[in-house]
Structure formats: structure tokens, C-alpha cells
Amino acid sequence: MTYRNPPTTPRRSATFDDYTLSEIRRAAATGIYDIRGGGAKRKLPHFDDLLVLGASISRYPLEGYRERCDTNVVLGSRHAKKPIELKIPITIAGMSFGSLSGPAKEALGRGATLAGTSTTTGDGGMTEEERGHSKTLVYQYLPSRYGMNPRDLRRADAIEVVVGQGAKPGGGGMLLGQKISDRVAEMRTLPKGIDQRSASRHPDWTGPDDLEIKILELREITDWEKPIYVKVGGARPYYDTALAVKAGADVVVVDGMQGGTAATQEVFIENVGQPTLACIRPAVQALQDLGMHRKVQLIVSGGIRNGADVAKALALGVDAVSIGTAALVALGDNDPRWEAEYNELGTTAGAYDDWHEGRDPAGITTQDPELMKRVDPIAAGRRLANYLKVMTLEAQTIARACGKNSLHNLEPEDLVALTIEAAAMAGVPLAGTNWIPGKNGF
């Protein structure tokens, strides 16, 4: 019997992992960067890395179901004659008609209205479906200005000047030819079937001084009635928030890198911007430094999933959160009932993100007339409302446990962090210590 040296186990590279290898092969074969929808999928410090302390001898809790815990929030009280009041501090983020089907937009409006909150247009103008079914509708003012007109500005309840979004701070919109149907083409004044790449900068202003003048124009056109939001991607949250306040915003929206997009380059989504958790404290700090915390409201979005995320975000000082991806899931996105069709598309339920291709089995991110029939706007709206209400109840449960009679009374002192990274980002102590990295010289 001959002796053979023991072989080593085949070892895969951590750097060149399976996904990376597949991406290199795909790029080499197709000659185009990978485009997809959604937000950052990599693991990032997030709200899961924070814990809520709850009551103890020094703090007494409120009775669940019996003692009040307010959830309402007023947005736009700084300058607008008609600020909006929402029953819950969870809003629906901007998603365009074009990226989403008409029934999906209607369902978002229905669900938000049932739950007492607002929904938001997107990079495609305002549709009758969403205006008609949304009690409170925020109208986005985007670089492309697709569908922009003074009538819709005036029938909006608030205006959101979009400077950037978390999935792609510094990137413009993208809607590929498969989804430029006749109706979408007409609303966007584009030829049918082209690949639409919208501008990344606004066409008629650059920088904070111009923004101030632009906001003045929007206020003058709407007779100072509408709250004006400024939305930024999570890039430089301290300065972006401060400059938005300086420019006259009533509300600042900061969208972290987990925030979704209808379509952009994978390399952009995963490598540009900051995690939501890292954006909150700098934005709150900017408001506090300017004496504007709670006067200019702060909305944060990007990876909000449940009432715990809501409670933790509010404890860190935000006034409301916004959801996009989670709302689509509530409508039926990535539902396992369509698994066979996801498989045909080379993916699986839960991982489907080729929203730009317009072949969404769930009928949400498509303009295909047959597929979009799969969304029943009434039933899907009901599911969204249920989900929003559950999130609110969850957040109230946590707030009452902390002895707070309003979600907005949650505070950083109610939180600890499980990791050093999260402690540093959130500015709360590492669990079991009184150490906040970066504070007091450490």
C-alpha cells in the first residue's frame, strides 16, 4: 500500500466569493453593469444592533392598551399655512408610477389612507389613482420634472424636493425600455421603449443658495400653503440637514443606503452612501445645533421593517420614518406564492430584485397589463394598512414599556448598543458599559 499525502480541503476565496465570481462572468459575457432594484443587501450596522432598555425601579412603565401613548405627528409647521397631521409616524416613501403599476400605486394610497398616513409620488408625476385614493399625498419635485405641473403642485398636500436617495446619492433615475409603456411615455414626454436615464442634478438650480430661491418659488406658486420637504440620500447628513434648514425646508428627509430604488447599478447601491443608522444622529445634531429640532421635522428612511425599528429611530430623535421596500412586501412583493415564476426568472422569492425588467410575477413593479392584474388594490391596500397598524402597535408597546405616553418621548437614554460600531453611530452606550465611542475623549 502506497502512502499518499493527505490532501487539503478545496478552499474558496473570501475575496473572490461565489457571488463575486458570478458577477465577473456576467459582466464579461454581457458588457453591461448589473442593474437591479432595492437597497443595499450587504450586512450593515442597523437597528438590530440596538436594544431598548424598558422600565426598571427608576422608570415606571405605562399599562399596555389602557394608558395613552400618542402616535400622531405634525409635519411642516415651520412655514406652511397648512401643515399636515398624520395619525402615525410612518409614511410611505416616494415610488414612481412607471416603476410601479397603477394598481400598486392605488394600493399604496388606499393603505396609507386607512392607516392615517401619507403616501408619496415618484419620478413619474402624479396619477389619478394615487391622488384619488390618498388622503394625504406628498408630491415629489425631482430633477427630471416628469409630469410636473402647477395644478398637481396645488392639489398635493406637501411638496418634497428630492436632492438624492439613499440607494444612489448623486445618481439619477433610471427606467429601462421594457417599462416605458404608452402611458408612462406620455406622462414623461419620452419615446416609448427607450432606456430612460434621468438627470442626477436639478435642471435649474445647484447648491444651497439656489435651493433657497427654488423653495421660495414653490411656496409662491402654492401660496405658502404646502409643507416643503427636502429629501437627501445618506451622504453627509449633518451638513445636508443644516443646509436644507438654511434653505427653508419645513421637513428634512434623510434616506440611508438600505433605502430602495426602482433601478440602478448594483455597484452604486452597495458602495455609495451611509447606513441609515449612521445618518440619524448627525442629522438630529444639525437640527439641535441650529435650535430647530422638532421645529423642522426629520423623517428617516432606509430599512425600516417593524415597530422596534420605528421606536429606535424615534428614540434617536427623528419625528417620523418612511417605508418603501417593506410597503411593497406588504402589497405582495417577493411573495413565495409566485416561487415557480421566480424560479423561471432565475431567482427565488425573497431575492427577486430585477424590478427594472418589468416582469414582476407579483404584478407590482411592472407595466405589463396581465401581470398588474394580480394586484387587487383594495386587498393589497388593506394588507398595507394592517402592516402599518401592527408596526404602530409594536412601537407603542415598546414606548409604554419605557414609560412614554408618546412615541416622540422616546429618547437616546432608552437605548444601548450591542456592538461598538452601532454604539458609535447611534451615540448610545455599548450594552453593559457607559462607553459611547467617540464621546468624552474615547
Partner 1 sequence: MPAINLSKAARDQSHAPSQASRVFDLAEMSLRELNQALHNLTAGSNETAWEVLNPKGSHSVAVGVGQPVTIEVRGSVGYYCAGMNAGSTITVHGSAGPGVGENMMSGSIIVKGDASQYAGATGRGGLLVIEGNASSRCGISMKGIDIVVHGNIGHMSAFMAQSGNLVVLGDAGDALGDSIYEARLFVRGKVGSLGADCIAKEMRPEHLELLQSLLDRAGVTGVEPTEFKRYGSARTLYNFNIDNADAY
Q: Which residues bind partner 1 (CB under 8 A)?
A: 31-32, 144-145, 148-150, 153, 177, 188-191, 193-195, 199, 203-205, 210, 213-214, 216-217, 220-224
Name the minimum Å distance from CB 9 to partner 1. Answer: 39
CB of 273 to partner 1, least distance (A): 22
Q: Provide, rounded to whole angstroms, the least separation between the CB of residue 128 and partner 1.
A: 18
Q: Please, which residue, 171 or 256, has the CB nearer to partner 1? A: 171
Residues 31 and 23: their CA atoms lie apart, in Å, by 11
Instruction: Using the minimum distance from each CB to partner 1, give the nearer residue, 203 or 291.
Output: 203
Measured CA to CA, the distance from residue 80 to residue 194 in angstroms comes to: 39
Nearer to partner 1, 141 or 229 (CB): 141
Taking the C-alpha atoms of residue 367 and residue 120, their distance in angstroms, rounded to an integer, is 19
78 vs 145, beta carbon nearer partner 1? 145
Please report how close the Cβ of residue 248 comes to partner 1 at its closest, in angstroms: 12
State the pairing for strand pair 228-233/158-162: parallel
Q: Residue 195 or residue 266: which is nearer to partner 1 going by CB?
A: 195
Name 226's Cβ contacts closer than 8 Å, sequence gap at least 6. Answer: 76, 80, 82, 153, 156, 157, 158, 159, 218, 219
Ramachandran quadrant class, 240 (left: phi over 0; alpha: psi -120 to 50; beta: rest): alpha
Minimum distance, C-beta of residue 149 to partner 1, in the bound complex (Å): 6
How many alpha carbons fall within 13 Å on the CB side of residue 141?
Answer: 25
CB of 168 to partner 1, least distance (A): 16
CA 69 to each of CA 51, 59, 149: distance values in angstroms, whole numbers, following the listed order: 20, 16, 40
For the bound state, the minimum distance from the C-beta of residue 61 to partner 1, rounded and expressed in Å, comes to: 50
Name the residue nearer to partner 1 (CB basis): 98 or 275.
98
In the bound state with partner 1, the residue whose beta carbon lies nearer, of 97 and 205, is: 205
User: Nearest approach, Cβ of 145 to partner 1 (angstroms)?
Assistant: 4
CB of 197 to partner 1, least distance (A): 8
Specify the DSSP class assigned to residue 43: -
| Nearer to partner 1 (CB atom), residue 178 or residue 397 | 178
- 267 in helix, strand or coil? helix
Identity of the amino acid at 432: G
Nearest to 317 by CA among 293, 341, 291, 292: 293
**Rounded to whole angstroms, how far apart are CA atoms 170 and 267?**
13
Q: Which residues contact 81 (CB under 8 A, 6 or more apart)?
A: 223, 224, 225
List residues bridging with 224 in a β-sheet: none
Q: How far is the CB of 98 from partner 1 (least distance, A)?
A: 15
Burial class (CB in 10 A: 0-12, 13-18, 19+), 31: exposed
Nearer to partner 1, 193 or 437 (CB): 193
Q: What share of the chain is helix, strand, coil (3-state, %, to 5)?
A: 40, 15, 45
* Shortest spacing between CB 29 and partner 1, in angstroms: 11
- Report the alpha-carbon distance of residue 334 to residue 121 in Å, rounded: 22
Of 223 and 344, nearer to partner 1 (C-beta) is 223
Residue 221 or 351 having the CB closest to partner 1: 221
Distances (CA, A) of 171 to 93, 133, 198, 320: 18, 30, 9, 25
Q: Is 363 exposed, middle or buried (0-12, 13-18, 19+ CB in 10 A)?
A: buried
Closest to 45 (Cα-Cα) out of 381, 281, 321, 291: 281
